[in-house]
Amino acid sequence: MKVLSLLKHWRFSPPQILALGFGIVIIVGTLLLKLPFSTTAPITWINALFTATSATTVTGLVVLDTGADFTLFGQIIIMILIQIGGLGLMTFAIITVLILGKRIGLRERLLIQEALNQHSIGGVVKLVKILFIFSVLIELIAAIFLSFRWVPEYGWGYGIFTSVFHSISAFNNAGFSLWSDSLSQYVGDPVINLLITVLFIIGGIGFTVVYDVMTTKKFRQFSLHTKIMLLGTVIINVVAMLVIFALEHSNPLTLGALSTGEQLWASYFQAVTPRTAGFNTIEIGDMNPGTIVFTLLLMFIGAGSASTGSGVKLTTFIIILLAVFTYLRGKQEPVIFKRRINNDVVHRSLAIVVISLIIVFVTILLLSTSENAPFIYIVFEAFSAFGTVGLSMGLTDELTFFGKQVIIILMFIGRIGPLTLAFALAKSAKPSISYPKGDVFTG
């Protein structure tokens, strides 16, 4: 409790600390990537900044070819930035939620307690340790399995490095690849498909869910958050796979040329990667326009809370749909898994979605005036940067100087979280006066 009151006397609020921390990592990363021995040929400052931001925010949008334009040193820097960005935010989320608790009332503390079974300071330290050990262990195991596949193909040195790089990039939902066509050459490879997607799904579902599943035996005993995330992830991935298979299986540029087995793997991969891993095994720009529009939605929804992914978050999306459905049924509060969802959670979800839509809308408006590119390229790039997804129809390396700046800011906001940013900017309310009720026609 002494630590709590101590932390409360810091001059910065948690969102400001988070933004500051990310800012410092990005600046150091930019300086390191600008070093002559980081790249095979000199790069501009804006491209160094763009790459450092993309890595730290685990986005994966690239203005340079990670495999060809960066030296081994440069690639290691990128890998470290990804690890700091991915693990760092998860750690920060847990610490903030558990200790600093700005706007965290009794209700939220009980929620944390339920989710993590931890609420003392000692518990937090233990929890962060578990998070680190778990993450590194997962990455290590996956790297070893990937090595089985890639050492025979590329030899010991590059085979092991590329396994470690892609393992870290996948678990942290970074989407950076050492190959310019991402994982397209492994479109039908079951081992690569399975290892990479399991990594980014575990990383993206959120640590509280992983911890809950590890420490609780039965589904019925899981926290409400865990139940929603598990069921929601299964449903959205199955639906997405079916939609993508239906829209692409006859497209000669994507699935049309593949065998049925490869078609299923590719549909699965493109269904799970937009929330918000960012690897791809088929060319995004070759997909059916309908599939591209559907992918926009998946990128906007994003991953789980306190995870290596971004977006508005799957729970936010589910709560919003549930609230609308509840309103239509004439009920007061949404009910899911026999639990009532408080109005405050609904309003928080509403705030997240509206602020996110405003941010993406303004980005699209700005890029529409500055970039000379098809509208769908711009829309796709904006959703991808906001969700820190990293998929692109090919606009990224053709962005103007202004366009790169906009995308850099958007990746930063997307990772910090639009609501966090909004809280950081909002002034706290004055003591409130109680006004009489008023009413308005809507719709």
CB closer to its own copies, 185 vs 368: 368
CB closer to its own copies, 144 vs 242: 242
- Verify binding: residue 428, its own copies, rule CB under 8 A: yes
Place of tokens 């730290």: 56
Residues with Cβ < 8 Å from 117, sequence gap 6 or more?
123, 215
Q: Tell me the window of 5-13, 16-24, 169-177, 297-305 that interacts with K ion (CB under 5 A).
A: 169-177
- Verify binding: residue 338, its own copies, rule CB under 8 A: yes
- Verify binding: residue 305, its own copies, rule CB under 8 A: yes
Binding mask of the shown chain, residues 387 to 406, with x at each position contacting K ion by CB under 5 A: ---x----------------
- Verify binding: residue 55, its own copies, rule CB under 8 A: no
- Verify binding: residue 114, its own copies, rule CB under 8 A: yes
CA 130 to chain centre: 21
The alpha carbon dihedral of 285, 287, 290, 293 has a sign of negative
Contact 241, 267 (CB under 8 A): yes
- Verify binding: residue 58, its own copies, rule CB under 8 A: no
CA–CA gap between residue 387 and residue 407 (Å, rounded): 11
Q: Tell me the window of 11-19, 51-59, 117-125, 332-340 that interacts with its own copies (CB under 8 A).
A: 332-340
Half-sphere exposure of residue 53, counting CA atoms within 13 Å on the CB side? 26
Burial class (CB in 10 A: 0-12, 13-18, 19+), 397: middle
CB closer to K ion, 118 vs 135: 135
Tokens of 332: 């007061």
CA–CA gap between residue 63 and residue 183 (Å, rounded): 18
Beta bridge partners, 336, equal 339
Radius of gyration of the chain (CA): 22
CB closer to its own copies, 166 vs 313: 313
Could you say which of K ion, its own copies, none residue 60 binds, taking C-beta under 5 to 8 angstroms by partner kind?
Answer: K ion
CA distances from 170 to 51, 156, 192 (A): 17, 21, 11
In the complex, the smallest distance separating the C-beta of residue 231 from its own copies, rounded to whole angstroms, is 12
Using CB under 8 A, pick the residue from 313, 403, 410, 414 that binds its own copies.
Answer: 313
CA–CA gap between residue 386 and residue 350 (Å, rounded): 17
- Verify binding: residue 414, K ion, rule CB under 5 A: no
Residues 249-308 that bind K ion (CB under 5 A): 278
Total number of residues that touch K ion (CB under 5 A): 5
Q: Tell me the window of 173-181, 205-213, 216-224, 316-324 that interacts with K ion (CB under 5 A).
A: 173-181
Using CB under 8 A, pick the residue from 31, 151, 320, 409 that binds its own copies.
Answer: 320
Could you say which of its own copies, K ion, none residue 329 binds, taking C-beta under 5 to 8 angstroms by partner kind?
Answer: its own copies
Could you say which of its own copies, K ion, none residue 151 binds, taking C-beta under 5 to 8 angstroms by partner kind?
Answer: none
Q: Is 283 left (phi over 0), alpha (psi -120 to 50) or beta?
A: beta
- Verify binding: residue 395, its own copies, rule CB under 8 A: no
Contact 213, 226 (CB under 8 A): yes
Beta bridge partners, 70, equal 39
Binding mask of the shown chain, residues 48 to 67, with x at each position contacting K ion by CB under 5 A: ------------x-------
Could you say which of K ion, its own copies, none residue 369 binds, taking C-beta under 5 to 8 angstroms by partner kind?
Answer: its own copies
CA–CA gap between residue 392 and residue 284 (Å, rounded): 7
CA–CA gap between residue 419 and residue 413 (Å, rounded): 9
Provide φ and ψ at 336, rounded to 5°. -145, 140
Burial class (CB in 10 A: 0-12, 13-18, 19+), 376: middle
Using CB under 8 A, pick the residue from 60, 88, 204, 206 that binds its own copies.
Answer: 206
Residues 227-286 that bind its own copies (CB under 8 A): 228, 247
Contact 247, 171 (CB under 8 A): no
- Verify binding: residue 175, K ion, rule CB under 5 A: yes
In the complex, the smallest distance separating the C-beta of residue 156 from its own copies, rounded to whole angstroms, is 43
Could you say which of K ion, its own copies, none residue 230 binds, taking C-beta under 5 to 8 angstroms by partner kind?
Answer: none
Q: How far apart are the first and last CA of the chain?
A: 49
Residues 365-394 that bind its own copies (CB under 8 A): 365-366, 368-369, 374-376, 379
CB closer to its own copies, 34 vs 225: 225
Tokens of 184: 């397209």
Q: Tell me the window of 3-11, 174-182, 186-194, 317-325 that interacts with its own copies (CB under 8 A).
A: 317-325
Could you say which of its own copies, K ion, none residue 175 binds, taking C-beta under 5 to 8 angstroms by partner kind?
Answer: K ion
| Footprint of K ion (CB under 5 A) | 60, 173, 175, 278, 390
